[in-house]
Structure 1
Amino acid sequence: MKQNIRDVYNFNAGPSALPLAVLEKAQQELVDFRGTGMSIMELSHRSPAYEEVHNQAIARLKSLYSIPENYEVLFLQGGASLQFSMIPMNFLQPEKKAGYVMTGVWSEKAFAEAKLFGEPYHVASTKESNYHIIPRMDELQYYERDAYLHLTSNNTIYGTQWKDFPDTGDVPLIADMSSDIMSKPIDVSKFAMIYAGAQKNLGPSGVTVVIIRKDILEKANPNIPTMLKYSTHAKSNSLYHTPPTFGIYMLGEVLSWIEESGGLEAIAKQNEEKAKLIYDAIDNSNGFYLGHADIESRSLMNITFRLADEELEKKFLMEAKSAGFVGLNGHRSVGGCRASTYNAVPLEACKALSEFMKQFQKKNG
């Protein structure tokens, strides 16, 4: 087993790997944040020192995604799971329906919460095939008067990812991008709202990013609790109450790291290279490794696969752990193996895993 904790190969699905450079900078600034004599965690969220951190994180996010002026960027708490409830509370009017594209467990959870507040329905579903594929665009059947259409852009448990997004016209498109936000350039203007828990590609757990178009804020239900209104947080620059200050600081530093790494185009290119190393090990194994996701729907963030029998699978995971590979166990609901190759997972880790897979096959094939 590797002795240096930073030498382990971290493939955890979330909370997941953070850039080493960001961790080292946070370590340097932890006790005395930029000459304040206090940790960032001790600063008032109303102080100029913290407000600069807060506003800079928003500005970096807007710049990296080229977010248009008619959008708000919010930092909320409660994880993406709270958004499952907040979205229908704010936007699912009594006289309308909401369409949900079912591509995995997180879609199911979002749909279940929406049922508490109105009439959601399935726009399309791949559940019968154990969510191994993303629906085709021509399979999406929804109504022009829908309150919104909801999808999950990347499915961590099953290893599938949307490559393109539907043009929904006047129907607001809402996306849970918790596990692939900031992994590639996207056209934000296609969406009425994007939300994401930070703990995969943006920073530590505890912060939820919401990118929301201003016009739908005006149409939201006013008769819900203050803290559950998006407008409350938009009007106060996400400072209505004490935000998760350390998490937002870390998020800003991760965004700075993305900028310094060449921006989203460079990040996307490396993510493709990383995933290819592992998918090639699967595809060239003559069935020794079996990928779960359909080739056209494969995720660049979560690579899911099985071995021919469970005993061999257990041996693979045990030997991988001994070799310093962390987090390769598949989700408890589907089993198997999963390598999560988020932005901060280095290319070297993916090369090492690919080589380990090949060597394991040679010894056990």
Structure 2
Amino acid sequence: MTTIYNFSAGPAVLPKPVLERAQAEMLDWHGSGMSVMEMSHRGKEFTSILAKTEADLRKLLDVPNNYKVLFLQGGAIAENAIIPMNLLNGGAADYVVTGSWSKRSVEDANAYGKINVVASSEADGFTHVPAFSTWKLNKDAAYLHICTNETINGVEFDGLPDAGDVPIVADMSSHILSRPIDVSKYGVIYGGAQKNIGPAGLCIVIVREDLLDRASPLTPAVFNWKTQSENQSMINTPPTYGIYIAGLVFEWLLEQGGVSAIEQVNIQKANLLYDYIDSTDFYINNIALHNRSRMNIPFFLADESLNDAFLKGAEAKGLLQLKGHRMVGGMRASIYNAMPIEGVQALVSYMQEFEKAH
């Protein structure tokens, strides 16, 4: 049987040991006689899962004690509205647009107050992060919003600007846990789970405690970070199974040696693919070298009339979901933590074959 490698941008590949563990525990979690999907979210079984999941995430990211970890619903797109509800409260916020998702964040936030786009690379086709020196920051902004890895465009931040006392709010959906980060440099970190953490539907928010008192009085309780933090993310029924799978992923990551260890694997995988793309004129990647994403690698065939043939041949080899996002076309290989290096090796081998044949 052909080995399948799933390059989907999300919902994305999960570690095989995680899926096997979930399979083994599907009908009976730890002798409880229940599936996790059947448990009361307030029962001792699930509250123990939630507590361990949070503890393991804190360990992986070295989350300081003055930050709350929330397990919410609606994915990262819901946070586009929830963030200004919790932080804007009559003020203005700065946003940087480096790809399709940060552009969407601006569009969604506009309904809640004054949103200033202080830097954008849209005119250049979203091929880089604008130099920090060009950002027109407002020292009185309620927050500065960035997307540190653009899934569609394949653009990743290689540092952070000096925002002074303005809290940085970062959408890290597609590269969280792929490298060490200094959580203390951010006011808020958030991300949908379906790329590097678990199944769709879960969103993780890490928020500094001093930012929990800024919500508009019109913020519904279910969207109020302070209310959720005071209720252990359970003012309503949380996405219990998504939290459980995330917990298994966190355990798997710790077994790999944590984010520092997985970063080295991610660098190796990304270099393997980029080095081949750069060695030929047959394939093209236009992203600035210092902003190339390690997780999402878009590329184009110089002769785009071959796109369908490339995808058909890839599928026959077990290399799935390589078609680029409909907004940009071309191809895209998403090589998250769970993608083994053998998958990238198989992709490069196929790309070499296809080039020789055409």
TM normalised by structure 1 equals: 0.96
Identify the range of structure 1 (108-117 vs 215-224) with the bigger mean alpha-carbon deviation. Answer: 215-224
Does structure 1 residue 352 correspond to structure 2 residue 346? yes
Asked if 2 retains the 8 angstrom alpha-carbon contact of 1:175 and 1:195, the reply is yes
Contact kept? 2:221, 2:228, Cα under 8 Å: no
Query: How many Å apart are 1:163 and its aligned residue?
Result: 1.3
2: distance between equivalents of 1:314 and 1:28? 39
- In structure 2, the residue matched to 1:219 is 214
In the comparison of the two structures, how many residue pairs are matched?
358
Q: CA deviation at 1:129?
A: 1.0
Assess if the C-alpha contact under 8 Å between 1:158 and 1:292 holds in 2.
no
User: In the alignment, is the contact (CA less than 8 A) between 1:103 and 1:134 conserved in 2?
Assistant: yes
Residue 182 (str. 1) matches residue 177 (str. 2): yes
Contact kept in structure 1, 2:266 and 2:337, CA below 8 Å: yes
The one of 144, 157, 162 aligned to 1:162: 157
Given the alignment, which residue of 99, 112, 120 partners 2:94?
99
Pairing partner for 1:289 from 283, 296, 302: 283
1:23 aligns with 2:19: yes
TM superposition shift of 1:71 = 0.3
CA RMSD of aligned residues (A): 1.0
Matched, 1:40 2:40: no
3-state SS, counterpart of residue 246 of structure 1: helix
User: What are the within-5 Å matches in structure 2 for residues 224-243 of structure 1?
Assistant: 224-243=219-238
C-alpha separation in 2, matches of 1:261 and 1:31: 27
* Runs of 4+ in structure 1 over 3 Å off: none
Pair 1:312 & 2:306 matched: yes
Alignment-derived partner of residue 254 in structure 2: 259
Q: Secondary structure at the match of 1:98?
A: strand
The CA deviation at 1:167 is 2.8
Question: Structure 2 CA distance, aligned partners of 1:228 and 1:350?
Answer: 39
Tell me the alpha carbon deviations over residues 325-355 of structure 1, each in whole angstroms, 9 at most, x when there is no partner. 0110000011000000000001100011111
Task: Confirm or deny: 8 A CA contact 1:101 1:124 kept in the other structure.
Answer: yes
Partner of 1:123: 118
Query: Residue 145 of structure 1 is aligned with which of 130, 133, 140?
Result: 140
Counterpart Cα distance in 1 of 2:299 and 2:219: 43
The within-5 A match list for 1:46-57 is 46-57=42-53
SS of the counterpart of 1:41? helix
- Counterpart of 1:208 in 2: which secondary structure? strand
- Measure, in 2, the Cα distance between the counterparts of 1:43 and 1:200: 25
Quote the offset at 1:220 in angstroms: 2.3
Q: Deviations over 1:160-191 (max 9, x none)?
A: 10011223121010000000010000000010
Q: Judge which range, 273-282 or 134-143, deviates more.
A: 134-143
In structure 2, what residue type is equivalent to 1:317? L
Partners of 1:159 and 1:292 within 8 A in 2? no
Q: Which amino acid aligns with 2:65?
A: E
- Give aligned-pair identity as a percent: 46
Q: Post-superposition shift, 1:98?
A: 0.6
CA distance in 2, matches of 1:224, 1:259: 36
Counterpart of 1:86 in structure 2 is 82
TM-score of the superposed pair, with normalisation by structure 2: 0.98
Corresponding residue of 2:103: 108
Letter in 2 for 1:288: F
- Choose 232-241 or 222-231, whichever is displaced more: 222-231
- The structural deviation recorded for 1:74 is 0.1
Pairing 1:244–2:239 present: yes
AA of the residue aligned to 1:76: L
User: Which position in structure 1 is the counterpart of 2:317?
Assistant: 323
Distance 2:48 2:162 in 1: 36
Cα distance in 2 for partners of 1:292, 1:16 equals 24
Distance apart, 1:292 and its partner CA: 2.8
Letter in 2 for 1:69: N
- Please give the secondary structure, in 1, of the residue aligned with 2:111: coil
- Inter-partner Cα distance in structure 1 for 2:218 and 2:151: 34
Contact in 2 for aligned 1:132/1:292 (Cα 8 Å) = yes
Question: 2: distance between equivalents of 1:115 and 1:328?
Answer: 33
Structure 1 unmatched ranges of 5 or more: none
Counterpart residue type for residue 88 of structure 2: L
Which is further off, 7-16 or 85-94?
Answer: 85-94
Is contact 1:167–1:190 with CA below 8 Å preserved after alignment? no
Does the Cα contact within 8 Å between 2:67 and 2:208 map onto a contact in 1? yes
Match of residue 195, structure 2, among 160, 179, 200: 200
CA distance in 2, matches of 1:35, 1:190: 42
**2: distance between equivalents of 1:167 and 1:66?**
22
Deviation at 1:219, TM superposition (A): 2.4
Task: State the Cα distance separating 1:221 from its structure 2 match.
Answer: 2.0
Q: Distance in 2 between matches of 1:55 and 1:220?
A: 26
